[in-house]
Amino acid sequence: MDPLFDFTGKIVLVTGGSRGIGYQMVKAFATRGADVIIASRNLENCQAVAQECRALGRQALAISAHAGRWDDCDRLIEQAYAAFGRIDVLVNNAGMSPSMASHEVTEKLFDSVVNLNFKGPFRLASQVARRMADGEGGCIINVSSSGSTMPLPRAVPYGAAKAALNAMSMSLASEYAPKVRVNTLMPGAFRTDVVKAWPDKGLGPIAIPRGHAAHPEDIVTSALFLASPASINVTGSIVRCDGGQH
């Protein structure tokens, strides 16, 4: 294993880690030696992923938590530190992006989208960053979206919340430096189980330079880079992994 991408002995927490790109990230870190904490609202799914990681010889903790609620975020942090004593890598991945005409968005839906995509990640990142800064340091990766920097009709609250996440990463990177690195990973369209809801099931061409939606491994490798010593000089950055989507 390349020593730059050997995570043996590292503790990695991934929200939204039981499905989609979060699941792919959990497995990628575990395959490379990390012990993992899998968080999502569905405990049974988290436990299934944890069992997969234990089969690889890793320690794995499954926690049911709503990443948009501060009480759940605080409980998640306490349980993670009680089990492992630290978090070396936090991946704020949980999110939601319902499609709806802007004039039809209810206050409840608006709050749900902003809470999960920005409010909760802020709480997790700020509290974990403080603990990292008081300890041995660490790395935080906030998963944003290409929709945060381009027109996104019918998903305005989502794009706006992800744009706030971009700004948050830069500010936290400055506030908790030099021991904590904070970056944004900005994927575009990618093929996981979410593509089942797409008309073409994610198989058709799309109007970006690469020509098609990414495979999960195309995104995961960028997360591994941001979490590894290979990116020691990268912080406060927005790393686009979108196939050239604008």
What pLDDT was estimated at residue 198?
53
- Please check the confidence at residue 13 and state whether its pLDDT lies above 90: yes
Residue 81 annotated in active site: no
Q: The tokens 């990766």 sit on which residue?
A: 141
Are 113 and 162 in contact by the 8 Å Cβ rule? The answer is no
The CA-based diameter of the chain, rounded to the nearest angstrom, is 52
| Digit-coded pLDDT (tens) for 84-116 | 999 999 999 999 989 999 999 999 999 999 999
Q: Give the model confidence (pLDDT) of 168-179 as tens digits.
A: 999 999 999 999
Q: What distance in Å separates the CA atoms of residue 53 and residue 158, rounded to the nearest whole number?
A: 31
Q: How far apart are alpha carbons 212 and 208 in whole angstroms?
A: 7
pLDDT band at 216 (very low <50, low <70, confident <90, very high): confident
Cα distance between residue 102 and residue 94, in whole Å:
22
Distance CA 207, CA 99 (A): 20
pLDDT for res 54: 98
Encoded tokens for 211:
């020509």
Separation of alpha carbons 83 and 13, rounded Å: 12
To the nearest whole percent, how much of the chain has pLDDT over 90? 77
Hey, what domains does the chain have and what are their CATH numbers?
3-241 (3.40.50.720)
Residue 91 DSSP class: E
What does the pLDDT read at residue 200?
56
Residue 79 has pLDDT above 60, yes or no: yes
pLDDT of 150-207, one tens digit each? 888 999 999 999 999 999 999 999 999 999 999 999 986 665 665 555 555 555 666 6
pLDDT for 147 equals: 83
Separation between Cα atoms, residue 137 and residue 129, nearest integer Å:
8
